[in-house]
């Protein structure tokens, strides 16, 4: 997985994109009060779009695949910012999400559900995604496909698995590597229907959700336990698990080992999109042929830089400080029986509401 360099573009699928408006408050958010904004930012959003924005900031070739009409504000914003994209017109407006940030970095996010996608649109979006991974004529095929974020109404929870199987059926051994960054039914649906990503990027809560080990808070507080939980996914066929653990840093677990990355705290301005930037940093390093610990180091550096920027602003490579990140090797231990719980990890996913 890590040998050599993958030179094709990184393709992302954002099935539920948005226009992200971030309002910076001058004081603490007071429920029921009238407050003035200190600033406002507006960016094209959705996890896959954010990954492409972060990659583009560092001149890494990428293409964002998403539903949406040519005249939609999200597509207009992508054109304005110069983000390469391939969109599928759907005849309905995309959602707009609202984020409120307080001076200490506390973030409140309100996400709308997005437009419903019919079965025909889902099929067309699938075909567009798979076709885009082939690359333009004369160019190398994609190095990665990133399936990221929530699914809009009408889309079944196993949609990411359907995309994964279609991708591998089309390209076989030449298929791009697959990364999944989602939560809830789409994440469970992908894993329960054998999407088998080369990289899974959960946070502590999502890692607990898909493994049935402890709780998100417990995993964030105990990196060794989190590494053990992540290893259960690797044993099931996931190539690597990049888990963000809040203030405790992030860890990477593969069949070859486990590593924990930490860095001194940064002064946060907004945590929205920090995880997406972490994934972009990892992919940036991996496509350059870096070792797993180096990929983890760059992931944490990217995430920290994003948290220190306002709104959903993404950092360029030059704005990151990988030298401030400490990476240590973890010993893997079996997950204690007391940490295992019955939970959603074994449940049948429901269609996302």
Residue corresponding to tokens 């677990």: 253
**Which residues are catalytic, by number?**
276
66: its two tokens: 């998403």
How many whole angstroms separate alpha carbon 263 and alpha carbon 300? Answer: 8
- CA–CA distances in Å: residue 162 to residues 15, 72, 88, 210: 13, 27, 18, 19
* Cβ proximity of 3 and 80 under 8 Å: no
How many whole angstroms separate alpha carbon 125 and alpha carbon 79? Answer: 20
31: its two tokens: 């429920």
* Cβ proximity of 199 and 6 under 8 Å: no
* Cβ proximity of 231 and 210 under 8 Å: no
CA atoms within 13 A on the CB side of 192: 20
- DSSP letter string, 265-320: ----S--TTHHHHHHHHHHHHHHTT--HHHHHHHHHHHHHHHHTSSTT----GGG-
How many whole angstroms separate alpha carbon 162 and alpha carbon 196? Answer: 11
């Amino acid at each position: 997985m890590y040998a050599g360099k993958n030179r094709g573009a990184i393709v992302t699928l954002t099935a539920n994109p948005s226009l992200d408006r971030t309002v910076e408050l001058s004081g603490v958010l007071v429920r029921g009060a009238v407050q003035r904004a200190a600033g406002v930012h507006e960016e094209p959003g959705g996890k896959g779009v954010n990954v492409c924005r972060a990659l583009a900031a560092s001149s890494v070739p990428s293409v964002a695949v998403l539903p949406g009409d040519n005249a939609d504000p999200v597509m207009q914003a992508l054109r304005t910012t110069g983000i390469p994209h391939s969109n599928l017109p759907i005849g309905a407006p995309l959602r707009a999400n609202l984020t409120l940030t307080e001076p200490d970095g506390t973030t409140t996010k309100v996400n709308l559900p997005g437009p419903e996608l019919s079965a025909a649109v889902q099929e067309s979006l699938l075909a567009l995604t798979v076709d885009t991974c082939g690359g333009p004529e004369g160019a190398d095929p994609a190095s990665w496909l990133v399936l990221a974020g929530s699914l809009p109404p009408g889309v079944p929870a196993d949609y990411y698995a359907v995309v994964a199987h279609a991708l591998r059926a089309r390209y076989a051994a030449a298929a791009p590597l697959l990364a999944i960054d989602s939560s809830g039914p789409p994440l469970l649906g992908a894993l329960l229907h054998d999407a088998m990503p080369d990289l899974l990027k959960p946070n502590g809560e999502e890692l607990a959700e898909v493994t049935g080990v402890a709780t998100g808070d417990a995993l964030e507080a105990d990196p060794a336990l989190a590494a053990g939980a992540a290893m259960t996914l690797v044993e099931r066929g996931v190539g690597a698990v990049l888990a963000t653990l809040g203030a405790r840093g992030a860890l990477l677990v593969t069949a070859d080992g486990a590593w924990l990355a930490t860095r001194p705290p940064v002064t946060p301005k907004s945590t929205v999109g920090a995880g997406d930037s972490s994934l972009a940093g990892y992919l940036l390093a991996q496509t350059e042929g870096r070792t797993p610990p180096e990929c983890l180091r760059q992931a944490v550096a990217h995430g920290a830089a994003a948290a220190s920027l306002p709104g959903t602003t993404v950092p360029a490579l030059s704005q990151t400080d990988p030298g401030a990140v400490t990476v240590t090797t973890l010993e893997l231990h079996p997950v204690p029986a007391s940490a295992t719980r019955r939970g959603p990890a074994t449940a049948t996913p429901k269609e996302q509401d």
